[in-house]
Amino acid sequence: MLFKNTISNLTRIRQVAEVLLRYGFEDVVTTTPLRRLVSQSRRLRWLEEDQRPVFETTRWERIRLIIEELGPTFIKLAQALSNRADLLPQALIDEFEKLQSNVPPFPTEEARLLIEAELGRPLGEVFSEFDDVPLGSASIGQVHRARLHGGEEVVVKIQRPGVREKVEGDLRLLHELVRLTSTFLRNQGLANPQDVVDAFERSMTKELDYTSEARAMEQLRKLYENYTSFYIPKPYRELNTAKILVIEFVNGCKITDKAQLLAWGLSPEAVAETGMDIYLTQIFEFGFFHADPHPGNVLVRPDGTIVLIDFGMVGKLTKQQKYAFAGVFIGMARQDARSMALNFRRLSLTSDIPDMRAFEADLNLLIEDFSVLDVQDMSMSDLADSLQGIIYQYKLQVPGAVFLILRALVILEGIGKVLHPRFNTFEFVRPYGARILREQYSPENILTEAEYTGTQLLALLQTLPIDLRQIMRKISKGDLRVKVELSGYTSLLRKADQLVGRTILALLLLASILFAGLSLLGHYPAEMPYYRGLPVITWYSLGAGLFLLLLLTMPQRVRRE
């Protein structure tokens, strides 16, 4: 099996290299170990080509075309990266947002067999009706409508057969590709490509387990159990497995179907305001939110109740992250660049901002750009792009949930403007920011923070004597070692090492040549064999010199390839 996987990965990586070459990314192939997988005939054929239509597109468009050709797993990775403005430039994010996972449905008979295998009983014992025509399909699974024997209408989400093995194979391939191209990716500004793939692997592993989505639905149902204007469908826990998700079917129209809302006697403006209030409550009150509120996932019932479906993508913020995120918006509203900078620093997973003054200056320019606009002219989309540009410029490592929120607010603003002619996202965010500020500095929260700080200090005081004793014991025995890591010198040290190695080879080559010359002057016994008039020992010396010459020139030849 290991041999089979290795051959499969090698073949797939060679295909990836071919696709990269076809779309004009020669530098990715020629400057990384991927070049070893391109045949000599392919190299010559590639060099003979002069003008290719692929160059009529931009570099970012060609990256999108490559992702589309490589298949669903790569598309999902690109879609996930489209929410990471700290890693990618905005132009590439715009291209990734165009990607669609258009996958045809798999046969219904396979869906029926998979349900029976997962639940361990015939389909007829579980459902009184099962619609063979799927409501929709995606790269991971598809959805069918059904009815339980108790009369409840449900939708059944079924994982595509063999998709787990396919995704796991593609993930192994991604790890291998990152290993081969890590130096190139770092030179392009992607500092931690392996971490990105690891995070994506965790996300995909979670998405392949439908019980995670069911738990998210149950958690939000509990948080909103007292809300009358918001509803989350019920998951049927006893029927759910890692590959099957059975949830309550909910009637309703898309939130952007303004004509249907008016036909039901509902106010589109009120629906938009209620939807925004629900979403901001998820972010700023619970810190746990539905992360994909596009119109197809937000329904409205005839009585005006808003329903969220498809919880495959959710986001979470800790209490401190929630305060810091709100502080960014509050600082902007108060035109306080320093406050924005400090809250960005609190929000970042690492607080390493090399030049805080330059950072504050850029935030101040952002504030000035938006302060001159009328409220009606302000756009969440423009603000999100500006914030994400600053995050990318300063390489801030902020939680992925922040980008999910910004993306969701942009989507909700688009929905709001369809329903509400005077809809403005900032007017809705402002009171929540003020509420968060009051909560952050409330006596209860200050007491909680003081208790946490006191606990940490007490733990430090408890362990400090032990740590000091161990240090003193090592010093007295002469066992204390200090590890110093020099960053930025790796390339220099590597070149120095190569120079030393080449110098040694050159000296050995010189010694071989000198020995060959001196061997011609020697007086040898009659037993010494000669070849072409020269003693064999001379030929041995010349052979050794030729071998050393090959070793000396080999790195240059590799680079020329």
Write phi, then psi, for 147 (nearest 5 degrees). -135, 135
What pLDDT is recorded for position 84? 66
Active site residue: 86, 170, 292, 336, which one? 292
Structure tokens at 486: 């020099």
Q: Which of 144-148, 224-228, 267-271, 383-387 has the lowest mean pLDDT?
A: 383-387
Beta bridge partners of 129: 147
Contact 490, 536 (CB under 8 A): no
Exposure of 360 in the CB half-sphere (CA atoms within 13 A) = 9
What pLDDT is recorded for position 9? 56
CA end-to-end distance (rounded Å), the chain: 34
Average pLDDT over residues 217-228: 91
**Sequence-distant (≥ 6) Cβ neighbours of residue 33 within 8 angstroms:** 180
Average pLDDT over residues 119-132: 94
As a dihedral over the C-alpha atoms of residue 140, residue 145, residue 149, residue 153, rounded to 10 degrees, the angle is 110
Does the pTM surpass 0.75? The reply is: no
What pLDDT is recorded for position 462? 73
Residues 537, 512: Cα–Cα separation, whole Å: 11
- Which residue type occupies 369? D
Burial class (CB in 10 A: 0-12, 13-18, 19+), 112: middle
Please tell me which residue, 464 or 421, carries the higher pLDDT value. Answer: 421
Tell me, rounded to whole angstroms, the distance of Cα 161 from its chain centroid.
25
Please tell me which residue, 175 or 298, carries the higher pLDDT value. Answer: 298
Exposure of 531 in the CB half-sphere (CA atoms within 13 A) = 6
What pLDDT is recorded for position 1? 45
What pLDDT is recorded for position 7? 45
Please tell me which residue, 53 or 302, carries the higher pLDDT value. Answer: 302
What pLDDT is recorded for position 430? 76
pLDDT over threshold 50, residue 556: no
What pLDDT is recorded for position 134? 92
What pLDDT is recorded for position 155? 95
Please tell me which residue, 319 or 545, carries the higher pLDDT value. Answer: 319
Please give the DSSP secondary-structure letter assigned to residue 105: P
| pLDDT mean across residues, the chain | 78
Average pLDDT over residues 25-43: 56
Summarised one tens digit per residue, pLDDT across range 232-268 is 999 999 999 999 999 999 999 999 999 999 999 999 9
Residues 490, 496: Cα–Cα separation, whole Å: 10
How much of the chain, in percent, has pLDDT values that exceed 70? Answer: 76
292 is catalytic: yes
Q: Which of 144-153, 227-236, 376-385 has the lowest mean pLDDT?
A: 376-385
- Which residue type occupies 512? S
Structure tokens at 441: 């500095």
Using DSSP's 3-state secondary structure scheme, residue 141 falls into strand
pLDDT over threshold 50, residue 316: yes
Average pLDDT over residues 101-121: 88
What pLDDT is recorded for position 156? 96
What pLDDT is recorded for position 44? 44
Of 535, 541, 551, the residue nearest 511 (C-alpha): 541
What pLDDT is recorded for position 482? 66
pLDDT band at 123 (very low <50, low <70, confident <90, very high): very high
**Sequence-distant (≥ 6) Cβ neighbours of residue 449 within 8 angstroms:** none
pLDDT over threshold 90, residue 393: no
Summarised one tens digit per residue, pLDDT across range 456-494 is 667 766 776 777 777 777 777 777 676 665 555 556 666
Please tell me which residue, 40 or 526, carries the higher pLDDT value. Answer: 526
pLDDT over threshold 60, residue 14: yes
What pLDDT is recorded for position 560? 41
Residue 55: how many CB atoms within 10 A of its CB? 11
Average pLDDT over residues 306-318: 88
